[in-house]
Amino acid sequence: MSKTMSKVDRAAVFAALGEPIRLQLLDQLGERRSISQLAKDLPISRQAVTQHLRVLERSRLIESHRSGRETHFVARPDRLVEAKSWLDDVTQQWDNTLARLKRFAEEK
Partner DNA sequence: TGAAAGCGCAATAAAAAGGTTGCGCTTTCC
Partner DNA sequence: GGAAAGCGCAACCTTTTTATTGCGCTTTCA
Residue with smaller CB distance to a second copy, 30 or 40 = 30
What spatial distance separates the first Cα and last Cα of the chain, rounded to whole Å? 33
User: In whole angstroms, what is the distance from residue 21 CA to residue 25 CA?
Assistant: 6
The residue within the footprint of DNA, chosen from 7, 69, 103, 108 (CB under 7 A), is 69
Contact region with DNA (CB under 7 A), list: 24-32, 61-69, 77-85, 94-102: 61-69
Query: Quick one: CA dihedral 26, 30, 32, 33, positive or negative?
Result: negative
Q: H or E stretch including 65?
A: strand 62-67
Does residue 23 interact with DNA by CB under 7 A?
no
Contacts of 41 (CB under 8 A, 6+ apart): 24, 28
The residue within the footprint of a second copy, chosen from 26, 37, 60, 72 (CB under 8 A), is 26
Q: How far is the CB of 92 from a second copy (least distance, A)?
A: 10
Binding site residues, a second copy, CB under 8 A: 7-8, 10-12, 14-20, 22-24, 26-27, 29-31, 75, 77, 80-81, 83-84, 87-88, 90-91, 93-98, 101
